[in-house]
Amino acid sequence: MLLVIPVIDIMDGKCLRIFSGLDDKTEFYTDNPVKVAKLLRRENFKALHITDLDGALYGEMKNYGIIKEIAHSVDMPIQLGGGIRNIKVAEKMIKELGVYRLVIGTAAITVPGFINKLVDKFSPVKIVVGIDEKLNNVVTNGWINYANITPLEFAKKVEKCGATRIIYQDVTRVGNYSGPFLERIVELAQNTSLKITVAGGIGSYMHLKSIMDLNIPRVDSVMISRAIYENRFPCQNLWRAMEKKDTSFDLPPAKI
């Protein structure tokens, strides 16, 4: 079974609806991320991923206050990414917010030795490296800049630094329900010993099944954003019917 981790992407203090580009397609689901986090907890999800998109774009966490409120409002492990580019910020997120796991993206490439230092200080369990791909090239700074390294090359590099888990996504699939990049997932799994969380393009139960059908135990979890907000999984009908009066966005019928 895959662990399904819902995603809250925050920009300007609001829940952002992400498509394959951040520049000209900005839409917000709701201006209350805390309310969304509480709803997801009531829907019995076992963990939560939060991305500070302002941090991912500009290198400095801008939504700390809201993230702190979420962390203190829900009793579930929180995985946090976006703008974590030095040890001081990483330590603050773990000690002050009680964040279970940190996701490092841009800094894993731009700050030499950063992953080694994080793993040594907090243990591999606390650190995940995000690998965002576009056309077989890793992209950074909110998918803006090309890092001139392939996903597989990068995965091997972070594994040598002591990381044991990555989050992989093809950013061209984000928000469009086109399905995960299965071939790349297999390539990463077959050529490293890393545990893999899959993100990007997942919009239906069949997409989840396609990942499970790979039968790779180390591919053990998925992160989903838009499809959960838009109620595309049949099991959500019951949950959302009970919560309908307590949400601030429309709830379309579930799709298989």
Q: Report the alpha-carbon distance of residue 197 to residue 92 in Å, rounded.
A: 24
* CATH number of the domain where residue 180 is located: 3.20.20.70
User: The whole model's pTM is what?
Assistant: 0.87
Tell me the residue range of the domain where 222 lies.
3-246
The residue type found at 93 is M
Q: Report the alpha-carbon distance of residue 72 to residue 252 in Å, rounded.
A: 30
pLDDT tens-place string over residues 74-88: 999 999 999 899 999
Residue 91 domain-assigned (yes or no): yes
**Catalytic: which of 52, 54, 132, 170?**
132
What was the pLDDT predicted at 256?
Answer: 37
What was the pLDDT predicted at 164?
Answer: 97
Backbone phi, psi, residue 61, to 5°: -65, 125
Q: Is 52 a catalytic residue?
A: no
Neighbours of 99 (CB within 10 A): 22
The residue type found at 192 is T
With CA atoms as reference, report the closest residue to 79 among 127, 30, 141, 32.
Answer: 127
Residue 117 domain-assigned (yes or no): yes
- Residue stretches of the chain with pLDDT short of 70: 17-29, 234-256
Residue 253 domain-assigned (yes or no): no
Q: Measured over all CA atoms, what is the biggest interatomic distance in the chain, rounded to whole angstroms?
A: 49
**How many structural domains is the chain composed of?**
1
Total residue count of the chain as it appears in this document = 256
Residue 159 domain-assigned (yes or no): yes
What was the pLDDT predicted at 240?
Answer: 52
Residue 242 domain-assigned (yes or no): yes
Residue 235 domain-assigned (yes or no): yes
Q: How far is CA 190 from CA 27, 193, 205, in A?
A: 37, 8, 24
Tokens representing 60 are 């400095």
Whole-angstrom Cα Rg for the chain? 17
What was the pLDDT predicted at 235?
Answer: 59
The residue type found at 61 is M
Q: Is 246 a catalytic residue?
A: no
What was the pLDDT predicted at 18?
Answer: 56
Residue 252 domain-assigned (yes or no): no
pLDDT tens-place string over residues 106-115: 899 999 899 9
